[in-house]
Structure 1
Amino acid sequence: MTNSLVSEIESGASLLLRELLACLPLGIAITDRDGQILQVNGAFSALTGYQAHEVTGKHLEFIASPRLPNPDAAPGAESWGQRRDGSLFPRHQVLHPVNGQDGALAHQIAVISDLTKHKQDESHIERLAYYDELTGLPNRQFLLQQLAGVIEREQRENTTCAVLLIDLDRFKTFNDSLGHSAGDVILKEAARRIESAIRRSDTVSRQGGDEFIAVLSQLHGPEDAAIVANNILAAMAKPIPVGQHQLTITPSIGISLFPHDANTPESLIRCADTAMYHAKEQGRNNFQYYTPVLNHRVQERMSLETALRGALLNGEFSLHFQPQIALDNGMITGAEALLRWRRSNGSWMPPDQFIPVAEDCGLIVPLGQWVLEEACRQRRQWNELGLPAFPIAVNCSALQFRQPAFKDQVVDTIAAHGLGPQHIELEITESVLMASPECAQSVLGELKALGIQVAMDDFGTGYSSLAYLKQFPVDRLKIDAAFIRGLDQDATSRAIVQSIISLGRSLGLSLVAEGVETQDMRLLLNQLGCDYAQGYGICHPLPAAQFEAWVRDLSSR
């Protein structure tokens, strides 16, 4: 082979090497055996900010960070590099030795990787694993690890810690009615307020949904947990602005104590959860400590919730009907549909025991739709049998009323059974209407325009103002039985009933008295100007067949 041919081959190999270095995405530096840089590629310059002529002849480690030295790092370990502008970057550097023809070290090739994005990805993955993306708070996984460490320390130091489980009252109602974006606003603001109400040394996390947990360490006694719980209640008392609404979101808080109640993270959380349900039973917007008795009650409630779901699927519910009569002539003018539950074992479950559970677990929505369907079916059957065409009144829960499709569901259900709007009346409590007056006014206006009558139920027990009452397009007021009960003996009750009747008259509304038990009450209510009445003194709620017989008997008199 001629010298010129050898030179040509060597020249081609050199060109090929330069092209290879130029296209590699990793930083490459070729050094002599002592680490002095001879050549670098474009990726090296892009990574470090140094051009080739600025680094040639310098030792490779001049780009190592002097502020974050890592002298003990093994070859190929991660370390910090420093760019020309002084900024630091995480790097992974591997040195490949190149031996000469004599077998001795002649050169080194350094391959440098920028780990910045890798570290960012690691950090993001870790954050997803241990933090709630919406609120930025630690999640359950993080909380369990933190709580385990707190318990271990409290055991060593013989001190106390507390777990506070915080549940936002009626959050599902607001989330379903106003949309998930509104729910997100509520959750983020609740997280901020709860975090501001605890000590900096404590931890608050979001468990998912509308539940938060605070871990309070190194307490002097149970009363310290009460102080923090009261701080949280106070922080949540101010309305939260959500779009055009000012929403008051109250918390129910359950408290468990280590080592008094339990000694593991999971069991402490379970105890706090049990206490939280007790707080809800006590009217919400309060805190309760765990006691062993509560655990039994919660187990009963969970069993009841499971049985409720099965009851709807298995057809264990039925409607009973209680008539409403005109006080001036005693004729039937309507009937209220009342939900009844006969369990599979034949026992009857009182409505005041299962209705609140259905509301808490959200089952009240499908249950309420079932009641409307059944009331419409029964009204259609009575039409075909020739009974008087009085309306059937159906109670609507807060959660049901706030469903975006509520109005359409009512209209479609009535039409599906071949009925007119005059055949069904909706009963809604004043507290439901006042929870979101503007929204209620809009929905009631649409129902009114369609000819569906609405009664304000249990009037006098809520907190509606006269200004709002005048704006609500309702057709009648139902005077709560609590005021009727002592009507013939108590001057105060009589004065309240007289005031409600006068108010209704001034607003052009008809009046229905609930809980009428005696003939004397009927006569007195008629004298006071009340239009209609219902109660045990007229007729108990009856199954459909017995109610039909009662109506026919009344009509034949």
Structure 2
Amino acid sequence: MRGQINWDMMQTQIVDALMTSQQQRLLDTLLDNLDGMIYRCLYDDQWTMIYVSKGCESLTGYAPQDLILNKVKSYERITHTEDRAQARKIIHEAVSRKQRFALEYRIVRADGEISWVAERGSGVFDPEGKPVALEGIIQDITERKRIEQALYSTEQKYRSMFENSTLGMFQTTESGTYLNANLALAKLYGYASPAELISDLNNISTQLYVEDSRRHDFTEAIRLQGRVQNFESQVYRLNGETIWISENAHAVYDAQGSILYYEGTVEDITDRKNYELQIRQLAVTDNLTGLLNRHAFSGKLASLIAEADKFHYKIAIAFIDLDHFKLINDTLGHRAGDKLLENVAQRLIQSTRPTDAIVRFGGDEFVMLYPGMRSAEDAQPLLSRVMEAISQPIAIGDYVFNMTCSVGVSIYPDHAQDIDTLLTCADSALYSAKNAGKNKVQMFSGSLAQQLGERNEIEYGLGHALQRQELMLYYQPQINMQHGNISALEALIRWQHPERGLIPPDQFIPVAEETGHIFAIGEWVLQTACKKIKAMQTEWGYLVPIAVNVSPIQFLRGNLVETVQRVLRQERVPPHLITLEVTENARFKDEAMFTRTLEQLKRLGVCIAIDDFGIGYSNMAYLKNYPIDELKIDKAFVQDLEQSVTNGNILLALINLGKSLHKSVTAEGIENEYQHRFLLHSGCDVGQGYYYSKPLSDEALAQFMREQRPKFDHLQVSR
């Protein structure tokens, strides 16, 4: 029995020992697999470790045996020097109160890297309550600290941006009260602080926005699109003034998808909106007079036409042109001309009804729009009032002007139903009024319609005239008055229309200038003249210079220099054999470009002549600065020379002016012996006119050349 009992006791002891061993292994396994280091250390100055788990190595870089009893390194030395005192203080305070402790600090790993750790533990006390050891767990929180630092930095950055931003920033409830605002927003709305704004503005819809519906538009846009961008509104400031703002905002939602608040930015765009308004006004307003400008004309007339159609009214469109304005503008300068236009604009305003519209169409041209007409006759008293208002004396500086105007009128819908045709009809009527002696009102009529039809026929025909070879050049000889031989030829264009016969240039050149056909025609004239020079050289053995006319439109708006250079190169004609004749008035369209083009042409080697000299009302001083070779005196001073002493005196003055400037002087329109002799004895260089020869076709020119051949021997010398 005793043996049996001893055996049982032995079995029990063996089982207890096995159980204790298994529990220890289980405990060791659990401790070793914990994320961190389990420790027990003495409560001394070095935190002398008496137990550390295997987590020590991944945490500190040291093996457990390195720290046990401070064999290689004490934990005190591992703790970062800047954190040791604070860590010991926290632990001492907790132990003294017999409480658990928790703290965060830095350690220096075996590889020199610094890590953040979190330590939690408690004191171990002897039977008398005296602390003898510490035990607990230390875990690596470096990654958490990095995240926290990043979040903190982001929060600080956002907070700094929020508080210091020059843009207004806000958070508002869905119902329309402010949760948060920065100082920029407070100042934008006229408040001293964000707190004052948040306290005062408790209903954004009614207190802030000028339009009550804007808050609803704001929230609806976010509901549909998730955000608002560049949401522009007019709002009230604290003092009652209104400004324009632009908002960018979005909604912030909770986990359940409900709106927590709106947040966004606000920018003051008042200056920009005012600038845009000014730009829109400038786009439709004439800077000088304050009237509607040409760009606004079509829109205004279109709206009046829609109203006229609705109420079955007529509209009178009056095209007004000031008579002799160019003479005043060129004589006294643009400043006086501008003052004159300002005065005329005010008089037009004073002579119209509130329903009428006035447009400055450009230069000295105005268009009056008279809606509400029952008949064309209803416009007569209104137009008479305009004529009377403009005719009153206008004082500008030391000058008093008695202005008149010419007026052309068309009626909607009697004369046309579209804007362009109505304006064309009024323009045609104006042209007729000016041709009739000016200071008149001309209503568009059937006869004018016929003229318009003829003009349209010319415009259409011009588009095909070159391709169909209907254009031709005639040549009028220019005679050296001292020697009597040919000095040059002037090329004069003619149009052999298949139905209307020979059309002179004064009927189709203005249309060509308006439609842009002048550029192709001008190049053809120059090319044909060059070919003629080569043909005459081949046939007669002489190089005869030829002068061609250049339109002011071609001169100032086309690529004239490139065209001349290209044609001369293609035809291989010496440049000095070509004279380009440009009218004196071309310089007024753009004097800077006029000068540049003249200089460029002279560099090519061509000759330059001023045509119709003396009738341009210009300042003669420009002649000394421009590279001009020849002055062609207008025929108006040669006609009636026998009966007009004044014409004779003017001719002498013009010839002497040309001589003093070392320019060749040509007189046009010489028709009889008296005129020839007068100009010869006055020192005129070259004469041109029917007295010598009319413009000649190719065949007639050949006959003329045969008859004049004995005089060719001096041709080169005379040129």
- Corresponding residue of 2:494: 340
1:455/1:213 CA distance change after superposition, 3 Å = closer
Give the 5 Å matches for 1:106-505.
Answer: 132=284, 137=292, 139-140=296-297, 142-144=299-301, 146-148=303-305, 151=308, 162-165=316-319, 196-199=346-349, 201=354, 202-205=356-359, 213-216=367-370, 221-228=379-386, 254-257=408-411, 269=423, 271-278=425-432, 288-327=442-481, 329-345=483-499, 347-403=501-557, 406=560, 409-410=563-564, 413-432=567-586, 452-459=606-613, 461-463=615-617, 474-482=628-636, 484=638, 486=640, 491-493=642-644, 496-497=647-648, 500-501=651-652, 503-504=654-655
Change (3 A) 1:506 1:68: closer
Q: What is the TM-score normalised by the length of structure 1?
A: 0.65
Instruction: Flag the 1:46–1:504 CA change in 2: closer, same or farther, 3 A.
Output: closer
RMSD: 6.1
Q: For residue 298 of structure 1, what is the amino acid of its counterpart?
A: L
Partner of 1:61: 203
Opposite residue 357 of structure 1, the aligned amino acid is V
In structure 2, the CA distance between the partners of 1:261 and 1:117, relative to structure 1 (3 Å rule), is same
- State the Cα distance separating 1:361 from its structure 2 match: 3.5
Any unmatched runs of 5+ in structure 1?
1-14, 170-184, 240-249
Change (3 A) 1:355 1:332: same
- Counterpart AA for 1:132: V
Structure 2: 5+ residue runs without aligned partners? Answer: 1-150, 163-167, 221-231, 324-334, 398-403, 712-719
Measured after TM superposition, the shift of residue 363 of structure 1 is 3.2
Q: Is the CA contact 2:209–2:215 (under 8 Å) kept in the aligned structure 1?
A: no
Task: Look up the equivalent residue of 1:368 and give its one-letter code.
Answer: G
Query: Aligned partners of 2:300 and 2:382: how far apart in 1?
Result: 20
Q: 1:41 to 1:531 in 2, by over 3 A?
A: closer
- Report the 3-state secondary structure (helix = DSSP H, G, I; strand = E; otherwise coil) of the residue aligned with 1:323: strand
Structure 2 CA distance for partners of 1:374 and 1:501, relative to 1, 3 Å: farther
Q: Tell me the percent identity.
A: 29
Shift of 1:440: 5.9
* Equivalent residue number for residue 544 of structure 1: 698
1:166/1:211 contact within 8 Å kept: yes
The letter of the residue matching 1:504 is I
The aligned amino acid for 2:651 is I
User: How far off its partner does 1:497 sit?
Assistant: 4.5
Per the normalisation by structure 2, the TM-score is 0.52
For residues 62 and 527 of structure 1, the distance between their equivalents in structure 2, rounded to whole angstroms, comes to 94
What is the Cα deviation at residue 143 of structure 1?
0.4
Q: Secondary structure of the equivalent of 1:334?
A: strand
* C-alpha spacing 1:61/1:414, structure 2 compared with 1 (3 Å): same
The answer for the alignment partner of 1:29 in structure 2 is: 172
- Other structure's SS at 2:203 match: helix
Q: Deviations over 1:221-276 (max 9, x none)?
A: 5242354467679999999xxxxxxxxxx997533357886799787556434434
Change over 3 Å in CA distance of 1:327–1:237 after alignment to 2: farther
- Listed one character per residue, the Cα deviations across residues 58-104 of structure 1 (whole Å, up to 9, x for unaligned) are 89427623996859998968997655565557899x9x9x9xx9xxx
Which one scores higher on RCO, CA 8 angstroms, separation ≥ 6? 1
Call closer, same or farther: CA 1:115–1:421 in 2, change over 3 Å: closer
Instruction: Output the CA distance in 2 between the equivalents of 1:439 and 1:30.
Output: 64
CA distance in 2, matches of 1:53, 1:144: 54
Query: CA-to-partner distance for each residue in 1:119-160, whole Å, 9 max, x for gaps?
Result: x8899699869953886947246403542476479x69x9x8
Deviation at 1:340, TM superposition (A): 1.3
CA distance in 2, matches of 1:72, 1:469: 67
Count of residues in Structure 1 that have an aligned counterpart in Structure 2: 508
**SS of residue in 2 equivalent to 1:64:** helix
